[in-house]
Amino acid sequence: MKMYVISRARSIATALLCAIVPPAAPAATPQYQIYDIGVVQVGDTASQGFGVSHAAIAVGRSVRTGGSQAFSWTLKGGIVGLPNLAGRSYAVSNSANDNGVVVGTAATTLFGSSRLPVMWQNGAVSQLPLPPGETLGDANSVNASSVAVGSVNGGSLQRGAIYSGGSGTIITQTTANGSYFVTAFGINDSGRVVGQGIDPQNAARNVGMVYDIGQSMAFEVGALPGMNGALAFGVSNTGFVVGSSMLNQGSGLPFIWSDKGGIAAIPLATGTTQGSGRAVNSAGWVVGNDSSAFSIPFLYNGTTTYRLADLIPPNSGWDLSMNTSSSALGISNDGIIVGTGVHNGETHAYAMVPAGPSPTPTPTATSTPTPTVTPTGTPTATTTPTPTATPRPTPSPRSSPLPRARPTPAPRP
């Protein structure tokens, strides 16, 4: 910084001050302890973590022969199995709010056949009401007011949907050029909805959709340089939106967006060539998946992108870098990360808990904060997980990952 000196004495004093004040230390690499969320029933073959509430209620599914069971999990309470909907033996929980309300999807196969949107509340499961005339649907996210979002129908007729006040409605608001919601992936406590859209003027282009409930129109996040579209997967209570930006239906690059800063690229993790931001907390910390030959879950703290495998103890037994099953799909406001990894050869859901206080970052993109909701309760269970500390196995590639519970955007004609 250029300094204007008005006297020799001031110059000497300034030099002495600079000599005794050390330079600011670089931000420390965040460190985490990793917990095995486990499975609901002894004999279940795998589990997957799909999200976490602001106050750290994790959700996902436990897979077994002939079915899957949704679960919630807390650090103090452990894993809690959630009841299946009658006639649907495959269930997954995708999102929870801090009041313990959980939403997800019930289906007849692991791949989501005959899917229905469901909500779990006070230990009971119920189907969320579909819009008139619709027979299929899913629920991907829920906010503090128990308003859920997802989609209805399928194929070229799939549309984004909102489930609120005992009814389901299709999101009919479009962008200025007529782009419309195909599915809604996230909603925050102020009613900002994000998801995937289609541009009727260019069906090959993905549209990262944003809609504030109560407004007359939706809008899109735009695209990174060299790209023409995006997919929006997560939204924070402070308005940050994250996802992946791509050219038409090609591979994408992770981004973070805000009202004030617009769209900005998230640096790729070392050794990767593509990726997607999947969740963001109120401070602007982002988790998601980058990839090359393998899936690489990452954390972005506003300045630096870290491989999650580099943030956990070296002898944890977890492989988060040498398989195709690993993911990071949720981050709480206090930095707890939830996803899926390979633990001693088994595909399991995990929760990564900060080993010390998480610093408050200043992300590149900023937005105006909105109030958050004070949690009123969390589910409980009979077991308490403990940190894993078993020897780390030699990593080996895995070529048959479990199918994802949420709809995966596919190329459209």
> What pLDDT was estimated at residue 398?
32
pLDDT value, residue 27: 64
**What is the pLDDT at residue 232?**
98
Is 333 exposed, middle or buried (CB count within 10 Å of its CB: 0-12, 13-18, 19+)?
A: buried
pLDDT: which is higher, 397 or 184: 184
Q: What is the pLDDT of residue 392?
A: 31
User: pLDDT grade, residue 384 (50/70/90)?
Assistant: very low
Residue whose pair of structure tokens reads 């930095």 in the numeric block: 335
10 DSSP 8-state letter = H
**Mean pLDDT across the stretch 405-410?**
42
Q: Is the pLDDT of residue 366 over 60?
A: no
Helix (H, G, I), strand (E, B) or coil at 346: strand
- Return the pLDDT at 117: 98
Nearest partner of 350 among 360, 340, 363, judged by Cα: 340
50-69, pLDDT tens digit by residue?
999 999 999 999 999 999 99
Report yes or no: 347 and 48 within 8 Å, Cβ to Cβ. yes
- Rounded to whole angstroms, how far apart are CA atoms 244 and 103? 24
Q: What is the pTM of this model?
A: 0.83
Tell me if 73 sits within 8 A of 351, measured CB to CB.
yes
Distance of CA 150 to the CA centre of its chain: 14
Q: What is the pLDDT of residues 222-271, one digit of tens each?
A: 999 999 999 999 999 999 999 999 999 899 999 999 999 999 999 999 99
Residue 17 has pLDDT above 90, yes or no: no
Model confidence over 303-347: pLDDT tens digits? 999 999 999 999 999 999 999 999 999 999 999 999 999 999 999
Structure confidence at residue 357 (pLDDT)? 58
Q: Give the pLDDT band of residue 358 (cuts 50, 70, 90).
A: low
Position 356 scores a pLDDT of: 72
**pLDDT tens string 192-224:** 999 999 999 999 999 999 999 999 999 999 999
- Burial pattern 228-257, b for ≥16 Cβ within 10 A else e, equals bbbbbbbbbbbbbbbbbbbbeeeebbbbbb
- With contact defined as beta carbons under 8 Å apart, do 180 and 159 qualify? yes
According to the model, what pLDDT value does residue 400 have?
A: 35
Distance separating alpha carbons of residues 329 and 342, to the nearest angstrom: 15
Specify the pLDDT at position 409: 44
Q: Are 200 and 214 in contact (CB under 8 A)?
A: no
| pLDDT at residue 410 in the model | 39
Q: Give φ, ψ of 259 to 5 degrees.
A: -60, -40
Whole-angstrom Cα distance, residue 263 to residue 252?
14
CB 150 within 8 A of CB 138: yes
| CA pair distance 117, 135, nearest whole angstrom | 10
Q: How many CA atoms lie within 13 A of 257 on its CB side?
A: 30
13 sits in which H/E element: helix 8-20
How much is the average pLDDT of 84-106? 98
Check: CB of residue 35 under 8 Å from CB of residue 385. yes
Q: Are 314 and 392 in contact (CB under 8 A)?
A: yes
Using alpha carbons, select from 234, 282, 283 the residue that is nearest to residue 255: 234
Decide if pLDDT at 102 tops 80: yes
Long-range contacts at 302-307 (CB < 8 A, ≥ 24 apart): 302/361, 302/362, 302/363, 302/364, 303/27, 303/361, 303/364, 304/27, 304/267, 305/266, 305/267, 305/268, 305/269, 306/29, 306/30, 306/269, 307/269, 307/270
Evaluate if residue 4 carries a pLDDT over 50: no
- Indicate whether 5 pLDDT > 70: no
Cross-strand bridge partners of residue 234: 242
Decide if 196 contacts 205 (C-beta within 8 A): no
